[in-house]
Chains A and B, each alone.
Chain A
């Protein structure tokens, strides 16, 4: 490679500087995702309220959030929200990005939860009724233990997708690895090395996670067979 375009020296100098930003990038990923998991659950509860006009409003709000690009939502929360009358307030860039990404992804995650719950056979609810389980025990002991494990691979996929959306936060000044790489480039006129480092960091974190999820997925598909092996089958 022509040293005019690529310098290992620059690469080695930039690497630790950019790595500093990983804390923010990963931190934003984790808190956004936790918010998404929580809010995803809240969507389901809101949708389950028996008052139909309210359900319809919730449905359309969620559709609206889902169909709007995350970057528009980030800009809205950061630049426009402070100007909204009564409820408006200003957020730090980190908080604005966390809210926007968390709420955007919560719309997907509530669908994942929904698919998990729908995958539990109707007979399981009927058996719970026949045994006179309370609503709480039915959810905690019958439905959720069966509904959640199959969703783990899907939840993992959304975590990786969210991770790759986090650099959007650079546009409002969250100082993650992308922001640092960009300012490093602006100061030194070397863009190739720092941006390559950013790409490599994403690859290094995403790819093993994807492999792990594939493994989990296989495990989930075989989960009842495995128990069978453990206890041993006579015959």
Chain B
């Protein structure tokens, strides 16, 4: 099977800080990947590059056969323009740590607007689709509420519904429970678990919810100092790896969470 996303020796620097130092990664359709690792190891940057929120300093990211950040003009490779980026990123969706809902729109409109504007749905079809998705994340009674009167967990579920209505082939989750009160984390993880079990799309989770990540992921990546230091099933990475940095990270994680 062909990978849907391919990172080829991808580097990213912010000023003098070399955050990613050569990422090579294939993501296959419907694969569920969890990225774990210490703070500042570049986990979030990996998925932000794919969402085109940051531009790689070097290397290529191929999405469904298309080079994301470079386009060919007259046989020459050039930096991608907005038109090229739009055509390639249409299959990618993302859920953010801080939700980023549109505060001036009801939660139904948060989901309807992108469907109408980007996918050119008729308003009525868009509303039906948005309602179906909001029902799925358990917010069927809140269509006309504004984000300001929802709890953090509800906001994050709306954000997931908004990303899901666009039917992405790859969904990125950027520490989606980190900004939530502890008692609200469960309801959000429940939705992700449901997606992981029943949905065909590929999912990449950057997370600190270690047990959850290990439970749902087909493959776990341990990112350390800007490179993928370990990669394998949860079982392989947790129990069989000899990597001392990983052992240290896991030990510190267990201590802090117990």
Contact = CB atoms under 8 A, between A and B. Distances in A.
Interface string A141-170: 110011000000000000000000000000
A97 to B, nearest CB: 38
B193 interface: no
A127 B148 contact: no
Contact of A224 (B118, B146, B162): B146
A187 interface: no
Interface in A110-158: 121, 123-124, 126-127, 129-135, 137, 141-142, 145-146
Interface residues of B, number: 31
B149 interface: yes
A131 B86 CA distance: 10
A52 interface: no
Contacts of A126: 51, 53, 96, 100
B197 interface: no
Contacts of A224: 103-104, 146, 148
A224 B149 CA distance: 9
Contacts of B86: 132, 134
A130, A225, A234 pick with most chain B CB within 10 angstroms:
A130
Interface stretch (B18-26, B60-68, B87-95, B127-135): B87-95
Given A123-B96, A130-B93, A228-B149, A146 B104 contact: yes
B117 A124 contact: no
B148 A142 contact: no
Chain B binding surface, main DSSP class? loop
B242 interface: no
A175 B129 CA distance: 62
Contacts of A233: 149
Contacts of B141: 234
B29 interface: no
Contacts of A130: 51, 53, 92-94, 96, 163
Main secondary structure of the interface of A (DSSP, over half): helix
A230 to B, nearest CB: 9
Contacts of A227: 146, 148-149
Interface size class of A (residues with CB under 8 A): 20 to 34
Contacts of B100: 121, 123-124, 126-127
A224 B16 CA distance: 41
A123 B96 CA distance: 8
Contact of A129 (B51, B101, B166): B51
Contacts of A72: none
B186 to A, nearest CB: 18
B82 A135 contact: yes
A142 B52 contact: no
A231 interface: yes
A141 B103 contact: no
Contacts of B102: 124, 127, 141-142, 146
B229 interface: no
Contacts of A234: 141
Of B96, B114, B141, B163, most buried by chain A (CB within 10 Å of CB) is B114
B144 interface: yes
A75 B145 CA distance: 55
Interface string A194-235: 000000000000000000000000000000110110010110
Given A124-B102, A126-B53, A137-B117, A131 B148 contact: no
B70 interface: no
B104 A145 contact: yes
Contacts of B208: none
Nearest to A228: B149
A135 B134 CA distance: 27
A163 B252 CA distance: 66
6 nearest A-B pairs in the assembled complex, by CB-CB distance: A123-B100, A127-B100, A130-B94, A131-B114, A228-B149, A224-B148
Interface of B: 51-53, 82, 86, 89-90, 92-94, 96, 98-104, 113-114, 117-118, 141, 144-146, 148-149, 162-163, 166
Given A126-B51, A129-B89, 13 more contacts: A121-B100, A124-B100, A127-B101, A130-B53, A131-B93, A131-B162, A132-B89, A132-B118, A133-B114, A133-B117, A137-B117, A224-B103, A231-B149
Interface of A: 121, 123-124, 126-127, 129-135, 137, 141-142, 145-146, 224-225, 227-228, 231, 233-234
5 contacts: A130-B93, A134-B117, A227-B148, A227-B149, A233-B149
